[in-house]
A and B are shown apart, each in its own frame.
Chain A
Amino acid sequence: MSWISRIANALRTGRAAADLDEELQFHLDERAADLVREGFTRAEADRLARRQLGNRLELRESSRDVKSAVWLESLLRDFQFGLRMIRKHRRASFAAIASLALALGACTVAFTMIDALIFRRVPIAAPEQLIDLARLMPAFFSPNNQPRESNSFSHPQYELLRDAARGQADLFAMTAGLQLALSEDSGGFSENLRAGAISGEGFQILGVRPALGRLIQPDDDSLASQPFAVISHAYWKRRFGASPAAIGERLKLGRRSFQIVGVAAPSFYGVEPGYLTDVWLPLSVAGFCRDSANPDNGCFRVWGRVHPEANRDQLRERLQAVVTNFLRERVRVNPPHNLRGPQIEQFVNAPLRIRDASTGADSLFRVQFRRPLWILALICALLLLLACSNVANLMLARASARDAEMALRVSLGAGRLRLVRQMLIESGQISVAACVLAVAFAALATPALVARLGSSDFPAWLDVAPDAATLGFAAALSLIATLLFGIVPALRATSPHSAASPNAALKAGAAQQSGRMGALRSMLATEVAFSVAVLYLSGLLLLSFKKLTSVDFGFTADNVVLFDLAPRQPENPSPASGAGLLEAVRRLRGVQAASISLQRPMGGDIVWIQTPFIRLPGGANEAVRPREVPVSTGFFETMQIRWIAGRDFLPQEIAGDSPSVIVNQAFVDKFFPGQDPIGRQFDKIGDDPDPVRQQIIGVVGNAHWNNLREPEEPSIYSPLRDIVVATLNIRTSIPAGALIPAVRDQITAAAPAFSARGTTLLRGQIDNTMLREHLLAILASFFSVVALLLAAVGLYGVVNYSAVRRTREIGIRIALGARRGEVVRLILSGTAMFILLGIGLGIACGLGMGRYLASQLFAVKPTDFSSLAVPIGCLLVVTVTAALPPALRAANVDPLIALKYE
């Protein structure tokens, strides 16, 4: 019984009342029957019985209070009333729900992505124990002269660290950065996939379970072991259709073949948010690191799990000592040629850090998209505020239509609290509808957006399926939104202002509530401010993208195909093989020019670029380090980089050991300003311990190499000698896309010593380097349109309201001889002030937030007022378009009708 029955009775008031009536009627009839038996007439008996029982209505009330949750009943009534109101004002409700849903949806999308990329913990047991190690390297180590954390350790270092940590933490090693490998399985099927290498204990320490078969075990991680592989659940489904027969299949990765022994648990995507690791290999078998026994070859990351009771400071001290002692010994045995005196000491003593890795590694993806996602969130939040003020505006205007209703309710004795509650319930219903739509929107839009964040080479992967966090966020945000847009209209509509004088309000049109008009207008100013802020920030992003796409590349991007090139027998590379390949390729039909470069042009942030020190004759090391780009003959012809002076490499310069290099204009401007650079010499201090004497044979124009954002850096083009992994660049004489398969087949036929895969168009490669900017630009344009629309709706509402409210006044004015133009001005003047105020506020707001965007902007400053011209222009056009029709309508009022209206 108790509260459950009360709620049940509240939900079916009719039934409970009928029961009660029946019970009382039974009583009356029984009593009357007894009285008849005592000799009363039927009519007398009925009357007496009724009198004895008392007032039936009162009885029903007092029993209902006992039997039913009255508050719930009234709540339900408010609820039904709210639904009726929403249905009645169908158009306004639709506008409110749609705009809120859009803004809430955008916020939910941003939240889901930020949560998945930045905050969510790795899906393993007790993720808070997960750590990784890094050293804070001194500033002189990085090209941009900033201290930076390095998480590279050599295998011998890892072994020492692991042994030292024993008892306090279990450490394991993974490859530094999981690589994209070319795969080919027993069926001859090949595709790009992401592979990671992990030491034998890794999976045990992580606590990952297999979904099928087994995971990598300590015995697998030895050179003597069979090459085994573990695949991800997603890859298993994608490639093998989740068939158990996948166990035992072989995958060819690089040059080795691995046998699949197991499938990892479905939730385990790896430890790098943003990427899905398809294949896991044992560290020592994977062969990702050349010469992994070399104590100076840092290509591993050290991860681990700290025991809950361990003292992290103590552990850090202990591991620091291990690293420092190790390095001190290495520096003694093998003195570094590019460090001097105190620098060596700083290198050896670089502080070791135990970093919390519970949310996974700071993957490249996370580093690249962290800021853009927060910017997205910022704009979404502004959009939500905008939508809230818009809905508040609609509700306020609607509330004005309900003055009479409110007054009636007050005079019938409704408390203010009750009225506020009723209005808030109405707002809540709009919110709930918007929230449901928003979650649906987010569920659809987020995966689509994630797919856009990746490229074909680096597909992005984030677990963005709606989870409890997403739903909770959407619900909480809706609640906040309800309060934001609901409370002002609710308080306004029920303000004592109207409540105090129900009399006045009940007379239609008589209420002159300047207070409400003021609220509407300041809400309009807020709305304009938010939309200007959104437009401003979006404008910055759009302008930045426009500038980026109009950058002069320094080369011609169209009709260039890039192939990932690998020799089939890299164990005995011959310098001549590259030249042979090029000769064969250049003879192919449709090929206009061909060359090989060590790195892929426009490889983006993932490509590793050498930046050697250089020294002019008689000078010391230069502070500016040029980048070095090893290329074959014909590179500048293929890329169509402008020749300025000198000549290209000769084939014998590539094959032999010549000092010839080609430099770019920026190099000449920096190191040989105003001189003839051809024939000049300088020393290069790179990988080799001794300086290498170089001689300039040619000068070319500046060309972007990694991405379009980079400044024009001094560059050295050096001869590309041994090809282990390189990129074949081909300029075709006809559109390249159609040629790719033919060219690939011809390469295989003409140069069987190489495999050429991973084809991309240079144009596509450039687009990939601009994914972030492109994404932000697309979203920015979308949000701008939404912001303008919302501003227009809000403005129309306010002007319309003020025009309708003043119909009588306008009628009088016109009757007294006011001209139409004056009436329009009258209607608009009050509103225009607030619009200007809103624009001012919005600009201030945008300027304040613009600084946060600065790092993502290219060639645009946050204070760039030219980016303001477009948004404000648009806004003004929208303003006029939205405000004029109701104003004109008001001006065309027939004074007779307006005056008779009352």
Chain B
Amino acid sequence: MAKQDALQGSLPLLVLKILHRRGPLHGYGITAQIEAISDVLRVEEGSLYPALHRLEEAGWVRAKWTTTENKRRARVYEITPAGRKQLQEEERRWTSVAAAVGQVLREA
């Protein structure tokens, strides 16, 4: 299991990516998705909600209250056009950082 600290900076990226791929999801759904995809990554649940709210403030996701199949109110998040743009940006940066780190690991 990776250290959560390493994930901190990339949590917004992951959230945006998942929302981009899977469409609107509630907070727990996002956690579950990340866990389902990766055995290694575990979302620190405590940091997910502040992160989501920060994304919402930045205008990259928007939230609305919906009702689930079992008649409960759930807050569902959806990526916005600005969010998509931000996602591309972050992805590009992540790839280049990862590549750079990989190169150092290989050649050092």
Contact = CB atoms under 8 A, between A and B. Distances in A.
Interface string A507-550: 00000000000000000000000000000000000000000000
A24 interface: yes
B54 A26 contact: no
Contact of A2 (B27, B53, B57): B57
Given A52-B45, A59-B46, A31 B28 contact: yes
Contacts of A62: 50
B72 interface: yes
Interface in A19-36: 19-20, 22-24, 26-27, 29-31, 34
Contacts of B31: 27, 31
Given A19-B75, A26-B74, A31-B28, A54 B46 contact: yes
Contact of A27 (B27, B44, B57): B27
Contact of B50 (A22, A29, A53, A66): A66
B28 A63 contact: no
Nearest to A23: B75
Contacts of A52: 45
B47 to A, nearest CB: 8
A66 B54 contact: yes
**A29, A31, A62 pick with most chain B CB within 10 angstroms:** A62
Contact of A63 (B26, B49, B74): B49
A22 B74 CA distance: 8
B49 A24 contact: yes
Given A26-B26, A27-B27, A66-B57, A54 B45 contact: yes
A22 B73 CA distance: 8
A13 B32 CA distance: 30
Contacts of A59: 46, 49-50
Contacts of A24: 49
B56 interface: yes
Contacts of B59: 1-2
A2 B56 CA distance: 9
Contact of B27 (A23, A34, A66, A67): A23
B8 to A, nearest CB: 13
**A1, A19, A29, A55 pick with most chain B CB within 10 angstroms:** A1
Interface string B36-59: 000000001110011001101101
Interface string B9-34: 00000000000000000111001100
Contacts of A27: 26-28, 31, 45, 49
Interface string B47-86: 0011001101101001000000000111100000000000
A6 B74 CA distance: 21
Task: Indicate the size class of the contact surface on chain A.
Answer: 20 to 34
A22 B27 CA distance: 12
B46 A53 contact: yes
Contact of A26 (B28, B32, B56, B57): B28
A2 B57 CA distance: 5
B28 A1 contact: no
A140 B57 CA distance: 80
Interface string B84-102: 0000000000000000000
Nearest to B59: A1
Contacts of A63: 49-50, 53
A485 to B, nearest CB: 40
Interface in A60-113: 62-63, 66-67
A53 B45 CA distance: 5
Interface string A26-58: 110111001000000000000000001111001
Contacts of B45: 27, 31, 52-54
Contacts of B56: 1, 67
Nearest to B56: A1
A1 B27 contact: no
Contacts of A5: 57
**B32, B46, B56 pick with most chain A CB within 10 angstroms:** B46
A301 B75 CA distance: 78
Contacts of B27: 23, 26-27
Contacts of A23: 27, 49, 74-75
A380 to B, nearest CB: 50
B57 A1 contact: yes
Contacts of B73: 22, 26
Nearest to B32: A34
Contacts of B28: 26-27, 30-31
Contacts of B54: 66
A164 B44 CA distance: 89
A384 to B, nearest CB: 45
Contacts of A20: 49
A66 B53 contact: yes
B42 to A, nearest CB: 9
Contacts of A2: 57, 59
Nearest to A26: B74
Nearest to B55: A66
A560 B74 CA distance: 93
B49 A67 contact: no
Contacts of B46: 53-55, 58-59
A294 B75 CA distance: 93
Nearest to B57: A66
Nearest to B50: A62
A23 B49 CA distance: 9
Contacts of A54: 44-46
A1 B82 CA distance: 13
A52 B59 CA distance: 28
Nearest to A34: B32
A67 B52 CA distance: 11
Contacts of A26: 26-28, 72-75
A54 B57 CA distance: 23
A52 B28 CA distance: 12
Nearest to A61: B50
A855 B48 CA distance: 78
A26 B53 CA distance: 16
A63 B27 CA distance: 14
A28 to B, nearest CB: 9
B57 A67 contact: yes
B7 to A, nearest CB: 15
A253 B62 CA distance: 76
Contacts of A19: 75
Nearest to A1: B59
A52 B74 CA distance: 19
A140 B82 CA distance: 83
A19 B73 CA distance: 10
A67 B62 CA distance: 13
Interface string A775-801: 000000000000000000000000000
Contact of B53 (A31, A53, A67): A67
A63 to B, nearest CB: 5
Nearest to B54: A66
Contacts of A29: 72
Interface in A590-637: none
A55 B73 CA distance: 22
Interface in A203-217: none
A52 B27 CA distance: 14
A679 to B, nearest CB: 106
B72 to A, nearest CB: 6
B74 to A, nearest CB: 5
16 contacts: A1-B57, A2-B57, A6-B57, A19-B75, A20-B49, A23-B27, A26-B27, A26-B72, A26-B73, A27-B49, A29-B72, A34-B32, A55-B46, A66-B50, A66-B53, A67-B56
Interface of A: 1-2, 5-6, 19-20, 22-24, 26-27, 29-31, 34, 52-55, 58-59, 62-63, 66-67
Given A1-B59, A22-B73, A29-B72, 15 more contacts: A2-B57, A2-B59, A5-B57, A6-B57, A19-B75, A22-B75, A24-B49, A26-B27, A26-B72, A30-B26, A31-B28, A31-B45, A62-B50, A63-B53, A66-B50
Nearest first, the 9 A-B pairs at minimum CB distance are: A54-B46, A30-B28, A62-B50, A66-B53, A23-B75, A27-B28, A53-B45, A63-B53, A52-B45
